[in-house]
Amino acid sequence: MLTSERFDDLVATGAALDLAGAADYAREQIQLARGQLAARGTRPSAAGGLSRRQIEVLRLVAEGCTTREIGERLYLSAKTADHHIQHIYTKIGVSTRPTAALWASEHGILD
């Protein structure tokens, strides 16, 4: 439980950080959280709640593949690939391939 005193201390510390310091702090906290999850034997959920297959499709969308090419690469019909793309759009809140590619880049899907 976070007390109001501790909260005030954290706000004051954060207010004193410049952008680079805040980014460094955020990276440290992410690494700590990943370490704690690894120690417990759990994995963080995929960004946007995407399944592994949806992540595969999103990576191909970001590469510029057509729906037909995605289907061929993943051994799916073009219609099934299109269904995956539409579900991805819904989950991540976008409506076009360029914005889906940008979202994937921003969320580390392309790493």
User: What average pLDDT score do residues 93-109 get?
Assistant: 92
pLDDT at residue number 65:
95
Tokens 């510390």 correspond to 13
pLDDT at residue number 99:
94
Please indicate, yes or no, if residue 98 is contained in any of the structural domains: yes
Please indicate, yes or no, if residue 111 is contained in any of the structural domains: no
Does residue 101 share a domain with residue 53?
yes
In the predicted model, what is the mean pLDDT of the chain?
Answer: 86
User: What average pLDDT score do residues 14-28 get?
Assistant: 82
Domain with 56, as residue range(s), is 47-106
pLDDT at residue number 47:
75
**Secondary structure of 75-105 in the HEC alphabet?**
CCCHHHHHHHHHHHHHHHCCCCHHHHHHHHH
Q: What is the CA radius of gyration of the chain?
A: 19
pLDDT at residue number 4:
85
Please indicate, yes or no, if residue 67 is contained in any of the structural domains: yes
pTM greater than 0.75 (yes/no): no
Q: Count how many Cα atoms sit within 13 Å of the Cα of residue 35 in the half-sphere of its side chain.
A: 6
| Residue 79 pLDDT greater than 90, yes or no | yes
Please indicate, yes or no, if residue 78 is contained in any of the structural domains: yes
